[in-house]
Amino acid sequence: MRAILRRELSGYFDSLMGAGIIGAFVVLMMLLSLLLDPMGQGGDWFKRGELSMRTFFGIFPWVAAVVVPAVSMRLWSEDRRQATFELLMTLPIPTWKICLGKYLAGLVFLAAMLGATLAMPLMMTQFGQPDWGPVLGGYFACFVLGAAFLAIGLFLSGLTENQALAFFLGMMFCLGLVGLGETRTFLGDLARSQPNAALVHIVTIPIVALAILAAAAGRDKAVGAASAALGLVVNTGVYLWAAPAPLDGKTVREMTPQGEAVVAALSQISVLDHFKEIERGVIYSNGLVFFGSLVVMFVLLNVWSLESRRYS
């Protein structure tokens, strides 16, 4: 496994691609952190006169959803392009060790990316005394979120030899996970007006997504297509029989038990909610289990996918 780790690290740090990704990430994060105001606090970093990194951590999930897939896209696609994939699969090494070696190399590169942005908190020390607790908590949150995105990208990279396709799929998947937190208002309103439909969405969509991922890992196109078609039928057909909740003379619909279940589920599967909790320095078990589960699930899916190719 150490040989795989060293090989992948040399592929990152001995190439212009690795330096380009780190450079682009640092420039993008620094500029957006100084010039944007996503927190609605009245202007950019200079106008606010506030010594904090809240803007940096506020935009990180969206930037990571684009940059981290660029890190992971080469982990397996490059081996397929260079025709070394078959050689790796014939080595007397368990598949899980190969996958873990590649994943750990990606984690080291992710840590290097985050380390390259330490110039910003160090710069803050020249203007005052920053609160290092939230800064350290924010960097830890960035690392665990990036680790989850990296595992997703590792799995998707193993499905194709096209690096551009692996990058696009990873970016769309990660952006979808981040954007899920922004749909809470919409789903909350839906949970009030049509609680049964909202409940069907929150239950069936993850199951269908897992079925499609499992089908992709096992290279079973029929199961993947059937899962996607069934999910589409169920999630659109629910509006034909799910009657809106009655107002009962009220101007605003009250939250039903089904609606409360939907909102509670959203709080548990929202990437942004878990990220923000850890960023504030609240290292609680729910967030760590959530991100750890994503890592374990997608690394195992990657192993399963490669095992199906190794012995087929």
Parse the chain into domains and list their residue ranges.
2-181+272-310
In the predicted model, is pLDDT for residue 246 greater than 60? no
Please enumerate in sequence order all residues whose Cβ is within 8 A of that of 96, keeping only pairs 6 or more positions apart, or say none: 303
> pTM above the 0.85 mark?
no
- Average pLDDT over the chain, rounded to an integer: 78
Supply the pLDDT for residue 163. Answer: 85
Rounded Cα gap, residues 72 and 22, in angstroms: 13
Residue 171 near residue 66, CB atoms below 8 Å: yes
CA atoms in the 13 A half-sphere facing the CB of 223: 13
The answer to whether the beta carbons of residues 258 and 36 sit under 8 Å apart is: no
Best mean pLDDT range from 164-168, 207-211, 293-297:
293-297
DSSP 176-193: HHHHHGGGHHHHHHHHHH
Residues 100-126: what's their mean pLDDT? 88
- Inform me whether the pLDDT recorded for 97 exceeds 60: yes
Could you say which DSSP state residue 252 is in?
S
User: Ranked by mean pLDDT, which of 19-33, 44-58, 98-112, 275-289 comes out on top?
Assistant: 98-112
What percentage of the chain reaches a pLDDT higher than 90?
17
What was the pLDDT predicted at 189? 65
- Residue the block writes with tokens 């897992």: 210
pLDDT for res 252: 44
pLDDT at 306 over 90: no
- Concatenate the DSSP letters of all residues of 118-145 into one string: GHHHHHHTTTS---HHHHHHHHHHHHHH
Question: Which of 12-16, 151-155, 292-296 has the least mean pLDDT?
Answer: 12-16
Query: What is the mean predicted confidence (pLDDT) over 167-190?
Result: 77
CA atoms within 13 A on the CB side of 125: 6
**pLDDT per residue as tens digits for the range 258-275:** 556 666 666 667 788 888
Residue 251: predicted pLDDT: 43
pLDDT above 70: residue 98:
yes
How far apart are the C-alpha atoms of 291 and 288, rounded to whole Å?
5
Instruction: Report how far Cα 231 is from the mean position of its chain's Cα atoms.
Output: 22
> CA-based diameter of the chain, in Å?
71
Q: Quick one: average pLDDT of 272-289?
A: 81
The residue among 210 and 70 whose pLDDT is bigger is 70
Residue 256: closest CA among 178, 192, 199: 192
| Polymer length of the chain | 312
Check residues 128 and 152 and name the one with the higher pLDDT: 152
Query: For residue 68, is pLDDT > 90?
Result: yes
What is the reported pLDDT for 166? 86
pLDDT over threshold 80, residue 76 = yes
149 band by pLDDT with thresholds 50, 70 and 90:
very high
- 142 has pLDDT over 90: yes
Token pair for residue 20? 């380009």
Lowest model confidence (mean pLDDT) among 63-67, 110-114, 220-224, 300-304: 220-224
